[in-house]
Amino acid sequence: MVNEIRIAVIGQAAFGEQVLKALIDNNENVVAVFSPPDKEGRDYDPLKKAALESNTPTYQFSRMRDNEAIETFLSLDTDLCVMAFVTDIVPDKILEAPSIGTIQYHPSLLPKHRGPSSINWPIINGEKETGLTIFWPDKGLDTGPILLQKSTIIEENDTLGSIYFGRLFPMGVKAMVEAVELVRRGEAPRIDQNDKIATYEGWCRQEDVIINWNDNIDNVYNMIRGSDPSPGAGSTYKGDGIRLFKASKYLQEGGPTPGTVTDITEETFSVQALGGCVRVGRVQPRGSAKIMAPEWMSLVGLGVGDIFGI
């Protein structure tokens, strides 16, 4: 049984910050933090700020693949590396350097939804469940053995934002602490992923979420909420691009041509798809910031009968 282990944290942003704070609060021995380089004119990354506040030695490299980064990591003589929101490529020399190994957070129920946009796609696909995995990364992409998993239901009104910030973020921080405890006690499993049921999707980009108003209402609605707040499901209005957010849906059989504006209220407008309509409360016109629907409707003079998608 291991009573104390030397831990290095590689990560960034609010998730990395909260993982570090949780590990310190749990009296784990974090000996080093690796965070992204400072950006001119911007505040420190939240993970770096938390490391400085806790007097944890902090290292910053543009690329973890650089020899200096690798040599620095190897000099720390760590037992465990914890990867908390890492977008850089971490080389095998670092992953394999700690005496026990490296663990990583991934926001899906691996082996399903390997890849970088693993929260978007289950919602877009209309799935009813998602979750998170703490796993031991290997040479593949999200393919290493599983340490632990936590699941959560995808409710009908959930969005990318509500799933991540409301559930997968806080669940992930707690899961990281639980995983480190299991490692420290020598009880952490390494369960091979079942490649026969594995799926992989790339980044969910703007061009991947263009609304087809002739599609079923459920598919249209899932696309909008699965890309809210980013990258935003797209359409066109009078030839100009627009992205839609803050949506709900209602059934309406036998309505007008798909893409037609069917209703306007003080807060929303509704657009017809097959079998129903989506109500939209926020938009992002091309080249502009996101604004609430009433402001945009006033700017363009939106009316019932106007058509999206042409």
Residue by residue, pLDDT tens for the chain (310 residues) are: 457 899 999 999 999 999 999 999 999 999 999 999 999 889 999 999 999 999 999 999 999 999 999 999 999 999 999 999 998 889 999 999 999 999 999 999 999 999 999 999 999 999 999 999 999 999 999 999 999 999 999 999 999 999 999 999 999 999 999 999 999 999 999 999 999 999 999 999 999 999 999 999 999 999 999 999 999 999 999 999 999 999 999 998 888 999 999 999 999 999 999 999 999 999 999 999 999 999 999 999 999 999 999 8
Where are the CATH 3.10.25.10 domain residues in the chain? 206-300
180 in helix, strand or coil? helix
The CA angle 111-114-119, to the nearest 5 degrees, is: 110
pLDDT of residue 253: 82
The whole-angstrom separation of Cα 143 and Cα 140 is 5
- Sign of dihedral through CA atoms 63, 65, 71, 73? positive
The one-letter amino acid at 98: P
pLDDT of residue 87: 87
pTM of this structure: 0.93
The values of phi and psi at residue 222, to 5°, are: -65, -35
pLDDT of residue 309: 93
| Domain 6-197: CATH class, spelled out | alpha beta
pLDDT of residue 162: 98
Q: In angstroms, what CA-CA distances link 303 with 37, 104, 238, 271, 292?
A: 49, 50, 12, 11, 16
Q: In angstroms, what CA-CA distances link 189 with 9, 239, 265, 308?
A: 20, 55, 54, 52
Structural tokens at position 232: 């935003």
Structural tokens at position 154: 């995808």
Structural tokens at position 217: 């209402």
pLDDT of residue 2: 55
DSSP conformational letter for 22 = H
pLDDT of residue 215: 97
Whats the size of the chain, residue-wise?
A: 310
pLDDT of residue 1: 43
Where are the CATH 3.40.50.170 domain residues in the chain? 6-197
Q: Which residues are registered as beta bridge partners of 271?
A: 261, 278
pLDDT of residue 3: 72
What is 206-300's CATH number? 3.10.25.10
